[in-house]
Amino acid sequence: MSYKIGFISLGCPKNQVDAELMLAKLEATGMEIAEEIDHADAVIVHTCAFIDSAKEEAIENILNMVSLREEGLVGKVIVTGCLAQRHQDEIFEEIPEVDAVFGIGANGDIAALVEQVLGGEKQLSSFPPPEESPLSGERTLPSVERVLKAERHLSFFPTLLQLPLSGQRILSTPPYWAYLKIAEGCSNCCAYCVIPEIRGPYRSRPMEDILEEAAELVEGGVKELILVAQDTTNYGMDLGGTLQLPELLKRLSAIEGLVWIRLLYCYPDKITNELLEVIADNKKILHYIDLPLQHINDRILLDMRRRGNGAHIRETIARIRAKLPDVVLRTTLITGFPGETEEEFEELVEFINETEFDRLGCFAFSPQEGTSAYTLPEPVEDELRQKRAEILMQDQYEIMALKNRECIGKTYLVLAEGYDAYSDSYYGRSYRDAPEIDTLIRFTGKGDYAEGTFVSVEIFGENDSDLIGRVAVS
């Protein structure tokens, strides 16, 4: 019997890659991956659990699926991913209508486990650990009562690209770009983060496996590869005791047909001169570095268990910009970490305004059980945490507006991604924009610019953070 499986994927790009691998395993056994949830024999909700808002989004989606089942519109409801790995018992306790909960360690057996559920087994669970976790501690799931049932907002996978790999994936991204996961887990053990507990310690993928997958992706039509891991710059330390990202980048760059390589999640303590030299010397590696910093104050960085201090962060940024003058720097910050004083927050505000990051995201501190930050004294009130995050983002909007104005008159190579009939214009991304998180370039021209093609665009304006341009005349 052929089963129809619906899939909802939440969370970060690393989680998305896991979902793509799971989809391929399900389809390989003859199951049909549904483009619509309605009347699916089973729906898998692939969850995130990094912060409370992610947990609540996951719960909301699970509750929506349970509601659809009660209406007779879907069959079984299965929960996978980070929330499942960390809160399996609480999920069954809070939402007993769920049929199965599978942790991350069970991803490789997903097809067989789904078949068991569809065969009638109730409240099935499987949690082989990813690997021994360096964290432990009490943990609780946010009460279902805290989650407001909003309108159903479901994520589907309309774009299916099959790859003849042992680690076959069904891409959920457009066929011309894909995430490439180069490692699993994390060993940094930052004070606020549950990832080491959920996904285990850092494990680099063998370089040959990465290169094989990358080549297959490019052969299938992918033109932009986006390297992801919990700490991309740490790649290779567990394989041979040295940082091997520079070597990996050089070998990826040799793949014929690959146009762009983008780096996410690069930690400042591992931005070596060698890495910067490789980026500067190779046209395929985009001058775009995602540099999660979290804060600039020395005391808070120490309490966060981050490596380095404020002076080292400033020195790293100066080195990057000296070597790559046109670099786009993206960072993420946390406001309201326990004990953060008004003076320490003002230091962060001053740092943001003097550094002028091209891209920036800010999160109010979200205390997570089992982490050392959860029990730190002097917690900052939630309202103040949120207010500080809003202040930083307001400053960043002004910085981005300034950065956009500096782009006017320049010409960028743009990867076309679609056509907007309402504005009668095309849209796409330059090297300055990572998909799904950054802005777009909207442009007009006399040609037909198909998705996945590259076109030179001259910028003449901006609108709502997006740049506006026209196809450059050669």
Res 109: pLDDT: 86
pTM of the model: 0.89
Task: Look at the domain 408-471 and name its fold.
Answer: OB fold (Dihydrolipoamide Acetyltransferase, E2P) (2.40.50)
Which structure tokens are listed for 314? 């400033």
For residue 138, the model assigns a pLDDT of 37
Q: How confident is the model at residue 1 (pLDDT cuts 50, 70, 90)?
A: low
Looking up tokens 């001169």, which residue turns up?
A: 273
Closest CA to 192 of 419, 429, 371, 448: 371
User: Cα dist. 366→101, 144, 300, 373, 398 in Å?
Assistant: 24, 18, 15, 10, 26
Q: What is the pLDDT of residues 312-370, one digit of tens each?
A: 999 999 999 999 999 999 999 999 999 999 999 999 999 999 999 999 999 999 999 98
pLDDT digits (tens, 9 = 90+) for 105-148: 788 889 999 999 998 877 666 655 555 433 333 334 444 443 33
Domain regions of the chain by residue span: 4-128, 177-406, 408-471
- Please state which CATH class domain 177-406 belongs to: alpha beta
Asked whether residue 68 carries a pLDDT value surpassing 90, the answer given is yes
Residue 270, pLDDT above cutoff 70: yes
Residue 383, Cβ neighbours under 10 Å: how many?
10
Mean confidence (pLDDT) of the chain = 89
Residue 243 has pLDDT above 90, yes or no: yes
Collapse the DSSP code of 328 into the 3-class scheme (helix H, G, I; strand E, B; otherwise coil) and give the result: strand
Extract long-range pairs of 454-458: CB within 8 Å, 24+ residues apart: 454/223, 454/259, 454/413, 454/414, 454/415, 454/416, 455/413, 455/414, 455/416, 455/428, 456/411, 456/412, 456/413, 456/414, 457/411, 457/412, 457/413, 457/414, 457/428, 457/430, 458/409, 458/410, 458/411
- Long-range CB pairs of 298-306, under 8 A, 24+ apart, other chains included: 299/339, 299/344, 300/337, 300/339, 300/340, 300/344, 303/191, 303/337, 303/338, 303/339, 303/373, 303/376, 304/190, 304/191, 304/192, 304/334, 304/337, 304/373, 305/188, 305/189, 305/190, 305/191, 305/372, 306/190
Evaluate whether 440 touches 428 at the Cβ level (below 8 Å): yes
pLDDT of residue 143: 41
Are 360 and 330 in contact by the 8 Å Cβ rule? The answer is: yes
pLDDT the model gives residue 155? 35
DSSP 423: T
Q: CATH classification of 4-128, choosing from 3.50.50.60, 3.30.420.40, 3.10.129.10, 3.40.50.12160?
A: 3.40.50.12160
pLDDT in tens, 389-433: 999 999 999 999 999 999 999 999 999 999 999 999 999 999 999
